Structure 1
């Protein structure tokens, strides 16, 4: 028997919901669950990260997908989630499956304690042969606290459980070297550096929230954790096993041969930027070998608390590292605005003024996709998150 694997599968809304009637596509769900049964019989563990709740709830709420606002989507998620879980459960009965629902928000990934709690829950479900079905809790999240897309949410789950394979099932048969509407576009069957194809990621589905850009972000996160990423069309008889076995077309994203530790991966692959620091070039040269001290900081931005992860830039606006801050943004501002006064006197308690300690800092390597660099605007440095990239 082949080595048993942990497999995380992300399923797009367009595969789960009929685009015209906004009802569950039971034929697809049947093929999916049958394939999962086949994989489980071979000793593999499968975790589903499923979109579809918002799309299925649109009909109940009475709003068209293209016209839905945030409140409409929240209400649709509340209506659609029972439909989605019922569809999985009804089909799962045929294969004697038990399923469990895990609804997450951004904070469950960004706060390390909540991250570990979620990890423990997933592992306990797998021990009991229960299929975890993970989704963002869209019924309560706002734009400020959303993960934003289930592609990256699924990638964080893959990192969390140290999955062997991360499969994104969508409505296109993989990554193309340019817009697939171009008659000269070619399928990229295998890729190591996904950053080479960012310019080919324009477009997204009507029902989904992400396009190919979020899928490349997601597989890059999986690669960093030593996980093999796959992007493939989900409409197949054996949607998961056929792509893993190489029996049909798709894009295979090779894992980093020297993956980072679980801690460094959690630090490096963020879903939202809490804030950033611009540090002196002398400090950049020694990243990883010493702490980032308040004297190293040229400027900062963001409203963050202790334990948030900050993005670290050099003076030219190139992102160099990410690390866990020991201070709030208010404390940091006070310290760097008054460099001649002792930090103890400014803050009212004893401190060495080490903003980020070296063991809580990870330097970015070439295989990391970086966020947009700080830009000048009205004399202030700001950061444009990758979610706001015009390609998205």
Structure 2
């Protein structure tokens, strides 16, 4: 796979499911898979992150988007996933494409070992010439443990396989500086700093769970990993190649010229907050050197229940996020350490330790190019 152009494609529910009938849109799938075949003929590898399973299963469980609760949507996902995959297989076989399903949960991205295992599986599928169809396992996930939107899921996949391009196909032809229904809205052809447009991107589609805000969040995650993101209308002939070749209008969010390492990218590109620490302003400033660990005496307060190996968000007393890093202790162990500052850490915990909450090697200071997370209410 070295040297190949890896392309991740994210497809929204509204493109895959007829909004009134809640059935697959085979015309769109025909155009999509034909274009996937065209890209593969140039040596590119294509991975599809597909929404649509919940929308396609709602009719089977007798629910609508308006009436469905969490358990209804989980059941709908279980019914709709075979329909979605079968639609991909039917159309894919017309072009000689083999299809594989990869269902992921939040833990497959946030736990580093599972992240690597997932990456190995996707790489093996690509080596075999198979097109992976990736989706969140909506039939078993709940609000507390789900990714929540396939835009950021696709960005994590792009990071995982070191993709060059992430194409997000949607119902509009890209980003506007305000709601595109506004007659004064201006199309934005290229973005370097996504933070400039976050306030103008509220709202979401009827069938989907994410709006333009999640697409920009995904783009920021991708650009940190050296991946260019394209946001474009999905209903078009050659929906992928015309975007990459610049033949039609799309918003291009440029990759950062100095991308993070895969380790730093995994630490900083989070999908949910496991926990957070507050340190003094002086300590927060020192973290920028990447030579400073966070010790128990540095912690002013802590939020969340987490385990060893979870990534913590580090804030200064003013509530500004300054770094993210891997915890060497559980939240309960940190409480014991910080509440007993004069007692030896080994005596408190029952095993040998230097008492560093986050080691410098596992700590990444955040730069202006990152989208920062709001501090938990208890901190702010």
**Shorter-chain TM-score category?**
over 0.9
- Offset of residue 4 of structure 1: 4.1
Specify the SS of the correspondent of 1:27: helix
Q: Secondary structure at the match of 1:65?
A: coil
1:5-154 correspondence runs (5 A): 5-154=5-154
Offset of residue 345 of structure 1: 1.8
Q: Which residue of 1 aligns with 2:275?
A: 275
The residue that corresponds to 1:257 in the other structure is 257
| Unaligned segments of structure 1, at least 5 residues | 383-392
Q: Secondary structure at the match of 2:317?
A: coil
Residues 97-136 of structure 1: CA distance to partner in whole angstroms, max 9, x if unpaired? 0010000000000000000000000000000100000000
Contact 1:177 1:185 in 2 (8 A): yes
Residues 126-152 of structure 1, C-alpha deviations (whole Å, 9 max, x = no match): 001000000000001111110000000
Work out whether 1:331 is the aligned partner of 2:333.
Answer: yes
Displacement of 1:282 after TM fit?
Answer: 2.2
SS at match of 1:285: helix
Q: Deviations over 1:179-218 (max 9, x none)?
A: 1111000110000001100111111111100001110100
The alignment partner of 1:307 has SS state of: coil
TM-score by length of 1: 0.95
Deviations along 1:29-80, whole A, 9 cap, x unmatched? 0000000000001111000000000000011111111221100100000000
Q: Output the aligned Cα RMSD.
A: 0.9
Which residue is equivalent to 2:173? 173
Q: CA separation in 1, counterparts of 2:4 and 2:139?
A: 36
Q: Deviations over 1:354-377 (max 9, x none)?
A: 0000110111111111111243xx
Contact 2:177–2:188 (CA<8 Å) still a contact in 1? yes
For the pair 1:343 / 2:341, whether they are aligned, the reply is no
Deviation at 1:278, TM superposition (A): 0.2
- Could you list the structure 1 runs, at least 4 aligned residues long, displaced by more than 4 angstroms after superposition: none
User: Do the aligned residues in 1 keep the contact of 2:319 with 2:379 (CA within 8 Å)?
Assistant: no
C-alpha distance in structure 2 between counterparts of 1:334 and 1:246, whole Å = 57
Q: What is the aligned partner in structure 2 of residue 381 from structure 1?
A: 379
Aligned twin of 1:157: 157
* Contact 1:66 1:206 (8 Å CA) reproduced: no
Whole-angstrom distance in 2 between the partners of 1:289 and 1:348: 28
Aligned residues: 376
* SS of match in other structure, 1:367: coil
C-alpha distance after superposition, 1:152-173 (max 9, x if no partner): 0010000000000000000011
The question of whether the paired residues in 1 share the 8 Å contact of 2:223 and 2:229 is answered with yes
CA distance in 2 between counterparts of 1:30 and 1:342 reads 66
Name the residue aligned to 1:371.
373
Provide the residue aligned with 2:311 in structure 1. Answer: 309
277-286 or 352-361: which moved more? 277-286
Distance 2:4 2:303 in 1: 45
1:162-201 superposed matches below 5 A = 162-201=162-201
Aligned position for 2:236: 236
Equivalent position SS for 1:67: coil
Contact 1:224 1:255 in 2 (8 A): yes
Q: Secondary structure at the match of 1:214?
A: helix
Report what 1:388 is aligned to. Answer: none
Deviation at 1:285, TM superposition (A): 2.0
Alpha-carbon shift at residue 381 of structure 1 (Å)? 2.9
Q: What residue in structure 1 maps to residue 203 of structure 2?
A: 203
